[in-house]
Amino acid sequence: MEIEIPQSLKVEHEELHNQLVKATEEGGKVGEAARAVAKVLHPHFEKEEEYALPPLGILSFLSQPDKIVQEMKSVLIMTDRLKADQSHMVEEHKQIVAALDNLIDIANKENKTQVVQFAEKLKLHAQTEEQVLYPTAILIGEYLKLKLHD
């Protein structure tokens, strides 16, 4: 069974990435601040796409007990890793948000409203991950351990 990030989350990550690339191409201090965001965000996004978000791809199957199969055990590697790394992931969010706050301040001074809107959207995305997506992925693993125990 292939475990994949839900399409809606994949598209959202791509959109955020594209907006960040556009912001990094801005001239002056806005571009510089956006590049600082990219520097802390890129490795974080890679980890999320490697092990934090793919478990969410089986969530709809878990709501149907007859769809739970042994092959889903492969997701436990990801959910256990996320559980162990969750505090570090949240700490990375703090660094990302600090960089975004700096970007917002600079973009506001330069009247770059689209950059401000993007940065606010990315801050909200990080909050959603902390409050909903990470805990859900971890719960998926814990649920599977109960359902698929040997």
* Total-model pTM: 0.92
Q: What is the pLDDT of residue 141?
A: 96
pLDDT digits (tens, 9 = 90+) for 129-139: 999 999 999 99
Contact between 56 and 140 under an 8 Å Cβ cutoff? The reply is yes
* Whole-angstrom distance, CA of residue 19 vs CA of residue 119: 9
Q: What is the pLDDT of residue 2?
A: 82
Q: What percent of the chain has pLDDT over 90?
A: 89
* Whole-angstrom distance, CA of residue 124 vs CA of residue 96: 12
Contact between 53 and 3 under an 8 Å Cβ cutoff? The reply is no
pLDDT digits (tens, 9 = 90+) for 98-123: 999 999 999 999 999 999 999 999 99
Contact between 103 and 115 under an 8 Å Cβ cutoff? The reply is yes
Q: What percent of the chain has pLDDT over 70?
A: 99
Q: What is the pLDDT of residue 65?
A: 81
In this prediction, residue 142 has a pLDDT band, given cuts at 50, 70 and 90, of very high
pLDDT digits (tens, 9 = 90+) for 55-110: 999 999 998 888 899 999 999 999 999 999 999 999 999 999 999 999 999 999 99
Q: What is the pLDDT of residue 149?
A: 80
Higher pLDDT, 143 or 66: 143
Separation of CA 80 from chain center: 17
Q: What is the pLDDT of residue 150?
A: 56
* Whole-angstrom distance, CA of residue 3 vs CA of residue 71: 10
Contact between 70 and 148 under an 8 Å Cβ cutoff? The reply is yes
In this prediction, residue 33 has a pLDDT band, given cuts at 50, 70 and 90, of very high
* Whole-angstrom distance, CA of residue 135 vs CA of residue 150: 24
